[in-house]
Chains A and B, each alone.
Chain A
Amino acid sequence: MEQLLQQIINGISLGSIYALIALGYTMVYGIIKLINFAHSDVYMLGAFIGYFSMTTLKLGFLPSLLLSMLFSMILGVVIEKVAYKPLRNATRIAVLITAIGVSLFLEYVTMAIAGANVRSYPPLTGILTESFNLMGITITMQQILIVTITVVLMILLQFIVKKTRIGKAMRAVSLDSDAAELMGINVNSTISFTFALGSALAGAAGILVGIYYNSINPLMGTLPGIKAFVAAVFGGIGIIPGAMIGGYFIGIVEVLVSGYGNSMYRDGVVFAILILVLIIKPSGLLGKNTREKV
């Protein structure tokens, strides 16, 4: 029982990261029907910005978090303007291939500048190194921090999407971008804003992974990116609460497979889930079946 609880805590920490990344995938898909493969590299760059902010600039954790979210936000908007906007009316496959190109570009430019070797975050100090023991269960301060920041960011995101004018615009564009434009909504700036939001969350996930696992490298985004994509599909791609649920679900499943099965099957099980979802309910857990009109 203790072990199960401990494993679930491990799973929630891991799931928070997947959920943060999955939100970016799902929001961009919701608004322009594009799987933004470069998203996992925004997450990687978020981790690197956090690293340079904490080592070179010697900033603390919170300023570094904000800096890396800000940088990721700008990066997301630049990627959208440079790579995707000129292709707004092109075929979907063209945009998809561009996304893969941007992803590889970011990975290898980072590798050329920062080197391919693994880097470790500076040692944490003060309260971040503490851990608690509750009835045989160990919870580290870093795990609490990850979950807290994730939950705060999600509440903030829900507030923006549901309660603000720009959130209303996002929902309108996602529903029908032509009709939204006719109603006087600036579709281009709404899309940019969506990229900015999603990328900021990925940047936050990057720096959280940096302090939690203490190990970053230019290709660190690949596997978590794909798993976050699975999480987004599981929850129903394009649906924000679905991405959160999917992220936590994938995190906990991974940990339980390692903990009670064989850790070698962990990644296999995640992708088996993707295949099952696509066969049984392609619209995902929270998705509605929409009938194709002819």
Chain B
Amino acid sequence: MKKTLAIILILTLTMTIMAGCGASQNENEIRIGINYELTGDVASYGQASVEGIELALEEVNNAGGINGKTIRWIKYDNKSDKSQATTLATKLMTQDKVIAVLGPATSGAFKATIPEAMKNKIVVASGSATDDSVTIDDNGVKEYAFRICFTDSYQGTAMANFALNNLSATKAVVILDNSSDYAKGLATNFTSTFEAGGGKVVATEAFVSGDTDFNAIITKIKGESFDVVFIPGYYNEAGLIIKQARNQGIDAPILGPDGFGAPELTELAGADALNDVYFSSHFSSLDKDPSVMGFIESYKAKYGKEPDQFAALGYDLAMFVIDGIKRAGSEDPVALKDALAQTKDFKGITGSFSMDENHNPVKAVVVVGIENGVHATSQRVEQ
């Protein structure tokens, strides 16, 4: 008896909730879902991204919205959890009836929401899922998945071009983290681009994550003649390699990927050792482009702090989707998907880009230069 009562109660509750959702549909608004890591392990990525997104959406609404319709965003916290991210994506698509879902920030969680996007035919877009395989698999491109950040291994290509063109390097040494796919992809792309451009990689050395003693490989490469050192890896080991290399008197420029972009790099290497070090980044607050300076100003006014690259990518992500909705001319998700795929020369604050056939942006990389331990220069390296 009690059981039947419980089931009836649950059914009633569910129906009320569903009815509530249906009732709140409004003809004069466009709904966008936000599915980000607001708490949990990578909360700092998610929070910054959402700050950037909300800033962009507010600006659009203040400027009159899209075709007289205002944007309403529905924001959920996936707690940095993949399965939670998938559940929330489904909820946004089926109950909240959004036209697109923004986020999550990390590649793993974003990938987990893509099957839902394909099933419900709703666009999902991420600002910071950089893993190479996010938007494509063996069956080709995933039609409803987009990202606006360059891929991990693309940075290898960009840094090779930077070494060849900006530093006029002809000989390079690669010291890679052999325990991460991220680093291996970067090293492969760097080597092929560098050698295709007339350079030569004279030595490739490897380490595994967690190593602390790099003196042996540094002494080994010291015997070679080279112009630059490329270290695909994260700051934990890269910081120590830079310190030990500078200690042994290697003063060639050192290049790295976005894994260098953490304050811990300075602590581990020491400010004295961090000279002539360059790493690729999505965004630099040193950028003197007027649109970037405008963004930094309004971000500071709203949140009282400097934007980081996630905030910048979040801002661009929201603007990218808004641009797609405008060009699609309707709120049909399929039209939106086609409009986003045809994006050409979108002007964002992380650089202007067009979508390639794999739903990856073709965009410039920002190369940040470090002098005396501080980010001192920034320049854009085009493809």
* A residues with CB within 8 A of B: 3, 6-7, 10-11, 13-14, 118, 120, 123, 129, 131, 133, 138, 140, 209, 213-215, 219-220, 223, 254-260, 262-264, 266
Contacts and interface: CB of A to CB of B under 8 A. Distances in A.
B220 A213 contact: no
Closest 5 CB pairs of A and B: A258-B216, A10-B215, A213-B212, A120-B267, A255-B216
Contacts of A7: 216, 219-220
B268 interface: yes
B69 interface: no
Given A3-B223, A263-B206, A263-B207, A215 B216 contact: no
Given A120-B267, A131-B247, A223 B210 contact: yes
B345 interface: no
Interface string B240-274: 10010001110000000000000010011011100
B103 interface: no
A118 B239 CA distance: 11
Interface string B202-227: 00011110101101110110110000
B216 A254 contact: yes
B219 A214 contact: no
B219 A3 contact: yes
Given A258-B217, A263-B217, A3 B267 contact: no
A47 to B, nearest CB: 11
A203 to B, nearest CB: 18
Given A214-B270, A264-B178, A259 B247 contact: no
Interface in B125-178: 178
Contact of A138 (B207, B236, B240, B248): B248
Contact of B219 (A10, A220, A254): A10
B268 A14 contact: no
A87 B208 CA distance: 39
A6 B219 contact: yes
B212 A209 contact: yes
Interface of B: 178, 205-208, 210, 212-213, 215-217, 219-220, 222-223, 236, 239-240, 243, 247-249, 264, 267-268, 270-272
Contacts, number: 75
Nearest to A219: B210
A254 B212 CA distance: 13
Nearest to B212: A213
Given A133-B249, A209-B212, A260-B220, 10 more contacts: A3-B220, A14-B215, A118-B264, A118-B268, A138-B248, A255-B216, A259-B217, A263-B205, A264-B178, A266-B216
B213 A213 contact: yes
Contact of A215 (B212, B215, B217, B247): B212
30 contacts: A118-B236, A118-B264, A118-B268, A120-B239, A120-B267, A123-B272, A129-B272, A131-B247, A138-B248, A138-B249, A140-B247, A209-B212, A213-B213, A214-B240, A214-B243, A214-B268, A215-B212, A215-B236, A215-B239, A215-B268, A223-B210, A254-B213, A255-B216, A256-B216, A258-B217, A259-B216, A263-B206, A263-B207, A263-B216, A266-B216
Nearest to A5: B219
B215 A255 contact: yes
B359 to A, nearest CB: 34
A209 B333 CA distance: 58
A133 B247 CA distance: 11
A213 B217 CA distance: 15
B240 A213 contact: yes
A259 B271 CA distance: 28
Contacts of B236: 118, 215
Contacts of B220: 3, 7, 258-260
A131 B244 CA distance: 12
B309 to A, nearest CB: 20
Contacts of B213: 10, 14, 213, 254
A209 B267 CA distance: 16
A266 B217 CA distance: 11
B43 to A, nearest CB: 15
